[in-house]
Structure 1
């Protein structure tokens, strides 16, 4: 008699195990889907941030190049003005010498 009840109990136990395993698989599938969705969202967010930073870097490099060009132009203009000042000072000194020599 005990032997005839044993297979039934085993079948019930196996059925409970299968049901719990199926429930666990369903929960695992939902968790995997949630993790995949979160990962995609995370990657998309970081991709957007990287794109924004790259565009800001490009803009900053463009501005830097423009500033370098402007600095070069200003340095060139400064050199020309120094040259003119030097010659003007020399011309004024020569004019002063001529006036002094005429005055004496």
Structure 2
């Protein structure tokens, strides 16, 4: 059951990671354009504003990713605990069933 939850975690985090990577790529391209310009014009200020905007979006995406990881980690912990409890119950039920079968066989 933990493997299924881990797979779900990977799928959930994959979208956040992809968004963060795309934003970082755009940020790098914008920074390159800004650094290559020699004159300080209005368009450079606009690009600088875009860079800051993308940078803030990257930070937001990273925060969302961290929150999703924490949420998924708690869910995995909960499911692991529940799984252990169920396995414990199954072991006792199997033992009780074997004892009942052996009494019937006697």
Q: TM-score, normalised by structure 1?
A: 0.61
Q: Which whole-Å CA distance do the structure 2 matches of 1:8 and 1:56 have between them?
A: 72
Q: Does 1:33 align with 2:66?
A: yes
Q: Pairwise mapping of residues 19-98 of structure 1 onto structure 2 (< 5 A)?
A: 19-73=52-106
Runs of 4+ in 1 over 2 A off after TM superposition: none
1:53-101 superposed Cα distances (whole Å, 9 cap, x missing partner): 111000000000111111122xxxxxxxxxxxxxxxxxxxxxxxxxxxx
Q: Which whole-Å CA distance do the structure 1 matches of 2:81 and 2:53 have between them?
A: 42
> What is the total number of aligned residue pairs between the two structures?
68
Q: TM-score, normalised by structure 2?
A: 0.60
Q: Which runs of 5+ in 2 are unaligned?
A: 1-38
Q: Which whole-Å CA distance do the structure 2 matches of 1:52 and 1:46 have between them?
A: 10
Which protein has greater RCO, CA pairs closer than 8 Å, 6+ apart?
A: 2
1:12-37 superposed Cα distances (whole Å, 9 cap, x missing partner): 10111011011001100000000111
Q: CA RMSD in A?
A: 1.4
Q: Which whole-Å CA distance do the structure 2 matches of 1:59 and 1:42 have between them?
A: 26
